[in-house]
Amino acid sequence: MSPIRPREVSLHGHKLSYVDSGSGQAILFVHGLLGSHRNWRHLVDRLDNTNRVIVPDLFGHGASEKHEGDYSPSAQAATLRDLINRLDIDRVTIVGHSLGGGISLAFCYLFPDRVERLVLVGTGGLGREVSPALRAATLPVADWVLPVIASPWVRGGAELVGRGLSLFGWRASHDIRAAWEGFTELSDADARRAFLATTRAVMNSHGQTIAAHEYLLELAELPVLVVWGTNDMVIPVDHAKRLGELAPECRVEIFDGAGHFPHLDRPDRFADVLRDFMATTERGEGPPAGSPPTGGSADRTARRQARTRSPRPGDSAATREDRPA
């Protein structure tokens, strides 16, 4: 695997780190909570020989700035739009994992003309259910507990236990390794603040609060691929089935035995499925024959104009499409 060399760009005065590799049709990968471009590193070498692969660290994550601004999905979606504008990319196939799936759905809703296809991987926003550990981060006590459990001496003890277990043949799953990789960054106060702000923007102690699946009602012409692992302990695989019922024209791929990071557990299969999906779909195909009518182009245009005039509650002004006509 060749080394990945992130670049930097300043967007509205804040530093954003991203990977830009290859040429061809653009694929924009969006990581989840506590993630970074490293969550997609196994896909870059597999895809950048035929595609231009863009992999940002979302604000508040990885090497990007942990500012005190808006961390809602709509604000993050606007940042992604600003990034592809800066890179002179007109349209992308957007691939979102977990929180990144909810952000990707918001991107498609807010900027539909910038998307060729949508890929959702163990995505958030399709139901209330989510890991109790993430729900706990929304509680007020997390502001005091998180600095303790993310402190060097606690992390050092956990690493010591892990090394001891490895002597007996234990090997951490990709889920555990990816989660630990993100958790280690929470020793930084700015990273903790961004993590808590991001978490509380999409969930509370009862579960997820963003109903991103509503966006799908506006995406009748957009090809959608859903990938999920049967052993996902963060967001249950039942959400994939729920999405299949809501939007039966979606393609659903279930990876047996994979966890919350099926693209890490089965990178070759994931790359093959993504290539096939891109090769066999294009924007504007619409639902299969026999599906109920979803409205003509005039109806879709009217809905988009209405969104521009009246953003959804909670959307920041920065999310509105302001590109020149």
Q: What positions carry a catalytic annotation?
A: 98, 232, 260
Residues 117/315, Cβ–Cβ less than 8 Å: no
Q: Which residues contact 66 (CB under 8 A, 6 or more apart)?
A: 59, 60, 188, 190, 191, 193, 194
Rounded to whole angstroms, the Cα distance separating 177 from 183 reads 10
- Strand boundaries in the chain, DSSP class E: 7-11, 14-21, 25-30, 51-56, 92-97, 115-121, 203-204, 207-208, 224-229, 251-255
Q: Which of 71, 67, 55 is nearest to 21 (CA)?
A: 55
Rounded to whole angstroms, the Cα distance separating 28 from 56 reads 8
Residues 50/271, Cβ–Cβ less than 8 Å: no
Residue 38: strand, helix, or coil: helix
- Retrieve residue 113's tokens: 């003309």
Rounded to whole angstroms, the Cα distance separating 50 from 33 reads 28
Q: Which of 106, 31, 22 is nearest to 63 (CA)?
A: 31
Rounded to whole angstroms, the Cα distance separating 118 from 140 reads 35
Residues 105/224, Cβ–Cβ less than 8 Å: no
CB atoms within 10 A of CB 189: 11
CB atoms within 10 A of CB 322: 12
Sheet order of strands, 51-56 included: 7-11, 14-21, 51-56, 25-30, 92-97, 115-121, 224-229, 251-255
DSSP state of 266: S
